[in-house]
Structures are given as C-alpha cells and as structure tokens.
Structure 1
C-alpha cells in the first residue's frame, strides 16, 4: 500500500466514523430526537456519487469508506423512522 492510500484510509476512517458515532448514540438512547433524516439521506445519496468517483479513479480508500458511509447514513434514516422521538 502506498503512502497516499494510507492517508486516504485514515481520513476516511475519521469522517466515516464521525457519522457512525451519531448512529450509535441514537441507538443507545433509543430515541431519534434531534436527528435530521433529510441530512442523512442527502449525505448518503452524494456518497454514492463518491463511490462511483472512487471506482473511476481506481481509489480503494474512496470506494471502501464511502460504501461504509452510505450504509451508515441510510441506517440513520431507517432508525429515524423506526424509533420514537422522545
């Protein structure tokens, strides 16, 4: 693995799991209060474009982390519609 790929994986880890921490917090408190599903849906939609871009430029870090981010954001939307806002 080359140096720029290592930087890409570290950066992707940070940005992807920043959103995942919100998902874990919502699940822990069992409430979707304060969550904006529109933001998560928009982010997930544009991250699909990042996945496509990563494929076009043959960048594994861009592809991998954005696939994880897409799943995380769409899980957030699903959680919003399945948990009460207390």
Structure 2
C-alpha cells in the first residue's frame, strides 16, 4: 500500500497541473465558438483577421470577410479568438 502512494500522488499532481487546465480551456473555447454571430471580428488559427459575414450552421462553416471583395469560408473550429 505504501508503495502505491507515490504513484497516486504523481497522478494527482499531473491531473491538477495538466489535465484539468486543458479541459477548462477546451470548455471556454467551445463556449466562444458557440457564441459567434454575424458581424463579430475574429482571428483564425492561421492568423487571418476578418469579420463574420455569414454562418452555415448545418456544416459548421463561417464565411469571413478579410478584405474588400474577399471572403473566405472556414470551419468554426479554425477561430482562435473573438475580438
């Protein structure tokens, strides 16, 4: 029993330092993605800045305007940040 104590302690430390913060960040990202609306300014994971001009809910696609007369279709999961 005493031999298992260090392994249990290491697992608890790993959980609180790595697993728990990652799942918390994932929940926050999912909440941000679900709150996206037309007109929101976003940054993609590829570094593109743009404004959402359309949303296709059925396949999870956002249409963002990155310049005059330039629109790009991206996956909702490609949004890194909402400005």
TM-score clears 0.5: no
- TM-score of the pair, normalised by structure 1: 0.31
Where is the strand percentage greater, Structure 1 or Structure 2? Answer: 2
Report which of the two structures shows the higher radius of gyration computed on alpha carbons: 2
- TM-score of the pair, normalised by structure 2: 0.31
Where is the helix percentage greater, Structure 1 or Structure 2? Answer: 1
Q: Which has the higher contact order (CA 8 A, sep 6+)?
A: 1
